[in-house]
A and B are shown apart, each in its own frame.
Chain A
Amino acid sequence: MRRVAIVGTGIAKYGYRSDANLAEIAYEAIKEALDDAKIAPEDIDSYVVGNVGTWSSEPLPAVVIGEYSGLVPKNGIRVEAACATGMAAARTAYHMIASGDADIVLVIGVEKMNESPTPQVIELIGRAGNYLWEFENFGMTFPGYYAMYATLYIKRFGVKEEDLCEVAVKNHYYASMNPKAHFQNRITVEQCMSSRYVAWPLKLYDSSPITDGAAALILASEEMARKITDTPIWIRGWGYANGTSNLSKRSDYIGLEATRVAAEMLYKRTGVDPTKPARYLDVANLHDAFTIAELMALSDLGFVKKGEEHIAVREKQTYIGGLIPVNLDGGLKAKGHPIGATGVGMLVELSRQLQQRAEKGRQTTIKKGWALAHNVGGTGHYVFTTILSVDKP
């Protein structure tokens, strides 16, 4: 396997983007990434588009984006893994280069969720499980699936809804310093607590928004990376796993088994002590589709003990200066969660953190030069994890 580096990054403004269509918002990110790497579309061997779609009008996003961005006749494909689509797309691009099939691959994550009305979007995400046995008869929603975890987690560990809100407060705080974030407003626990329930015990402010957005990465082989940039960010390895489609078949509801399996694989492949991962890392982006998801990820990834996640958050261990700074871009919760773009956006953010290019106030100190990303598809249906580094693996 050949080494693979990130040599260019781009990200579109996340939000309610009624000013741009799918190809236009994708190109915002693509252009920024090409400019960052100082390469042209002709230099690209292939491209991979992460897009879930169905709420947006284009059923073949890879060809539409390819044409708009001047990539024809380069080969592009679409990859889908629910909310983990972005990192699934990046992993596919990684394999193309690692295997020797390509030298430079463009990864694009894009989603235009607001092309459909909100009740329709809630419907489409709610259908993302075991259709006939969860949605058709029982009308599950995406917050509903995670709420099942939140209910048991709260009861089991004596956690308060306020503890969940602390995660939202932190992520809004960092989003307020990120000009590309969906939300730029800081919130308080009280504001979060007074927001309405969407799926009890989860409230509106526990939930990531319906977001339009795009992000892009340029991956390159070691040889090409040297020619393109002096500051490549290396992909040290991946961990991935899946969970059951039907939530009722899970072994417990206080964590995601797929995250635990993916973490074990990642730590083994990157030489990280699974009992002390924070020692190796400067920063992490965890999949906070809902506040409960960030809490569970903290223990499933081994940063803190199960049941003590909320204490770590209360003690500001997930802020800059704490045990492990988490979601300094605002996370899915406040930066936004444009499904197919989310995982790519995480890798853009962590690359820039490692290159110390993040905005003032949300740039953490880079000492160890390693960062971890965790991208969940559905409700633990897919999990992808990776570690990026400044130093070459």
Chain B
Amino acid sequence: MKEEKTVIRKLPEHIDRLSGEIMSMMDSITRETGLPIYQDPRTGNPMWLDVREMRIRYTIPVKNIEEFFSGLKAGVLRTTKCRECGTIYFPPQVDCPRCRIRNMEWIDITGEGELVTWTIIKTKPLSFSHLDDYVVGIVRMPQGFNMLAWIKIDDPEKLSPGMRLRLRIGRRDSENYITYWFETA
């Protein structure tokens, strides 16, 4: 399982496969005519294809919430609680805007949640286009906050508001990195 490629390599390969045919066609048009101009198939209008592809991958600092990720590796989901006012934050954040101080403790997220609402994503974003349809839900946790995550369920018709769901942590199939999801309790 761990030897399998992760989404980091798999996704660009998938995207290159999707656009491969069109890019080969544009390459030959540009070689022949000297210009990357094609006819829009919908309207016939001439279109310039940007020859400068811009691939963006952001780098996001996680220093202050590192315990969330070390928790994931250990199979525990953790979040922050303000030592002054007791507010629990999910997603975890290191500052309490109520108390205007940085004095958080890390607590484990425990217990079964209750389903609030959900959707099934059918038309997917480009960077999820390698995956089957997925169910995303918002779940109310007993510690008093909501979590948004995928719900693993064979038949989404069985979902209903208030349904009890259990939090799971592990490597996501086909993407091979650690994340969390809900399953029926």
Report A's interface with B, CB cutoff 8 A: 16, 18-19, 57, 117, 119-120, 122-123, 126-127, 130-135, 137-141, 143-144, 147-152, 155-156, 196-202, 246-249, 253
B94 at the interface (CB under 8 A from A): no
User: Which residues of B, 83-125, contact A by the 8 Å Cβ criterion?
Assistant: 90-91, 116-125
Determine if A138 and B148 form an interchain contact, defined as CB atoms under 8 angstroms apart: yes
B149 within 8 A of A: yes
A123, B90: Cα distance in complex, Å: 24
CB-CB under 8 A from A253, the residues of chain B are 116-117, 138
Contacting residues of chain B (138-179) with chain A, CB-CB under 8 angstroms: 138, 145-150, 156, 160-161, 179
Q: In the assembled complex, which residues on chain B have CB atoms less than 8 Å from the CB atom of A122?
A: 123-126
A-B residue pairs in contact (CB < 8 Å), sample of 5? A18-B45, A137-B149, A151-B117, A248-B148, A253-B116
Q: Are B123 and A249 in contact (CB under 8 A)?
A: no
Hey, which chain A residues are within 8 Å of B43, CB to CB? 16, 18-19
A206 to chain B, nearest CB (A): 12
Question: Which of B45, B125, B134 has a CB less than 8 Å from the CB of A126?
Answer: B125
Q: Contact at A144–B121, with CB atoms within 8 Å?
A: yes
Q: Are A119 and B129 in contact (CB under 8 A)?
A: yes
> DSSP class of A's interface residues: helix, strand, loop or mixed?
helix
Taking the complex as formed, is B50 at the interface, i.e. its CB lies under 8 A from any CB of chain A? Answer: yes
Q: Which residues of B contact A134 (CB under 8 A)?
A: 148
Contacting pair A141 B124 (CB below 8 A)? yes
Contact status A140-B45, CB under 8 Å: no
A116 to B60, CA, bound (A): 25
Quick check: is B131 within 8 A (CB to CB) of the other chain?
A: yes
How many whole Å from A259's CB to the nearest CB in chain B?
18
Partner of A18, one of B47, B60, B116, B179: B47
Cα A114 to Cα B44 in complex, Å, equals 15
Q: Is the CB of A148 within 8 A of B138?
A: yes
A119 close to B122 (CB less than 8 A):
no
CA distance A156 to B162 in the complex (A): 12
Residue in A closest to B172 when the chains form the complex, CB atoms: A137
| A148 and B91 within 8 A (CB) | no
Chain A contacts for B146, CB-based, 8 A: 248-249
Q: Residues of B within 8 Å of A, CB-based: how many?
A: 37
Query: Is the beta-carbon distance between B123 and A199 smaller than 8 angstroms?
Result: yes
Q: B123 contacts A16, CB within 8 Å?
A: no
Compute how far the CA of A123 lies from the CA of B129 in the bound complex, rounded to whole angstroms: 10
A57 & B121 in contact (Cβ 8 Å cutoff): no
B70 near A: Cβ within 8 Å?
no
- Closest Cβ of chain A to B54, distance in Å, is 10
Specify the chain A residue showing the minimal Cβ separation from B123: A198
- Whether a CB of chain A sits under 8 angstroms from the CB of B40 is yes
Question: In the assembled complex, which residues on chain B have CB atoms less than 8 Å from the CB atom of A18?
Answer: 40, 42-43, 45, 47
Q: Which of B120, B121, B160 contacts A140 (CB 8 A)?
A: B121
Q: Which residues of B contact A135 (CB under 8 A)?
A: 125
- With a CB–CB cut-off of 8 A, which chain A residues contact B42? 16, 18
Q: A123-B125, A148-B136, A249-B145 are in contact. List 16 more A-B contacts (CB 8 A).
A: A18-B40, A18-B42, A126-B125, A130-B91, A132-B91, A139-B134, A140-B121, A141-B123, A144-B136, A148-B138, A151-B118, A151-B119, A152-B161, A156-B161, A199-B121, A247-B138
CB distance from B163 to the nearest CB of A (A): 11
Q: Hey, which chain B residues are within 8 Å of A152, CB to CB?
A: 116-117, 161
Residue of B nearest to A122 (CB): B125
Expressed in whole angstroms, the Cα–Cα distance for A130 and B90 within the complex equals: 12
List the B residue with the shortest CB-CB distance to A137: B179
Closest partner residue, chain A, to B131 (CB atom): A139
Expressed in whole angstroms, the Cα–Cα distance for A126 and B120 within the complex equals 14
Say whether B91 contacts A139, CB under 8 Å.
no
**Shortest Cβ distance from residue B67 to the other chain A in the assembled complex, whole angstroms:** 15
Given contacts A140-B136, A151-B117, contact A119 B125 (CB under 8 A): yes
Q: Could you tell me if A199 and B119 are in contact, using CB atoms closer than 8 angstroms?
A: yes
A141–B148 touching, CB < 8 Å: no
Q: Which residues of A contact B156 (CB under 8 A)?
A: 200
